[in-house]
Amino acid sequence: MNKNEPILIACEESGTVTESFIGDGFTNVFSCDMLETSGKYSDRHIVGDVLPIINGKCSFKTSDGVHHRIDTKFSLIIAFPPCTHLAVSGAAWFKKKIADGRQQQGIDFFMLFANADCEKTAIENPIGIMSTKWKKPSQIIQPWMFGHTEKKATCLWLKGLPKLKETNNVKKEMEGLPKNIQERIHYLPPSPDRSKMRSKTFHGIAEAMANQWGRESND
């Protein structure tokens, strides 16, 4: 794969991973979400349902109004499907969500990426039910492995990609900080942007994805 081949960053509003790939020289990377991006590359962001484009060979319009066509399948997909109905942190509401079908909808959407026509895929989610509903993750990473003095266990299900290698282990520094700093994401106060802030990929992890998986895809 060369750096002109198409890459899809699915369910990414923040643009963090997209920006890391663009910064590494990838010229055909697109993010997709139901919301406008809060990142700086609106010309690389698709607002809408990911289903019509997930297998490539598609046409779409980015937020700047430009039409694009992908004539092949995507060479790499990194997906961040919503975890609202899947994460164990919401287990208290599982019974209701099972009854009204919301949990199954979350599972079905997650599995769209697992079954996508792409040789190299990564699916990210917190610790949750997909470990039993589908299979155990390929690895579990923490922000402190990538230069952030915080805790937030994140599962990665990988196909055709190597496990991420930690780039800057700051666990010792983190352990010397107060719990509310170590677990900043958990302690975020209620606000209209809380869900966006909780789902944003840490910059160090995004950089590792671009540097390591980008090279892997470029072999």
What digits encode the pLDDT tens for the residues 63-121?
999 999 999 999 999 999 998 888 887 777 788 899 999 999 999 999 999 999 999 99
Q: What is the pLDDT of residue 2?
A: 84
pLDDT interval class at 209 (50, 70, 90): very high
Q: Which domains occur in the chain, in start order?
A: 7-217 (3.40.50)
Q: What is the pLDDT of residue 217?
A: 45
Amino acid in position 97: K
Residue closest to 127 by CA, chosen among 141, 117, 113: 141
Bridge partners (DSSP) of residue 32 are 10, 46
Q: What is the pLDDT of residue 144?
A: 96
The pair of structure tokens assigned to 68 is: 């694009």
Q: What is the pLDDT of residue 187?
A: 63
CA distance 122 to 7: 12
More confident residue, 37 or 219: 37
Helix residue spans in the chain (DSSP H): 16-23, 94-99, 102-114, 130-133, 171-175, 179-182, 194-199, 203-208, 214-217
Residues whose CB is less than 8 angstroms from the CB of residue 101 and which lie 6 or more positions away in sequence, other chains included? none
For 3-17, give the DSSP string: TTS-EEEET-SS-HH
CA dihedral 66, 67, 73, 79 (to 10 degrees): 50
Q: Are 6 and 30 in contact (CB under 8 A)?
A: yes
Residue found under tokens 């950089």: 207
Give backbone dihedrals phi and psi of 201, rounded to 5 degrees, phi first: -70, 135
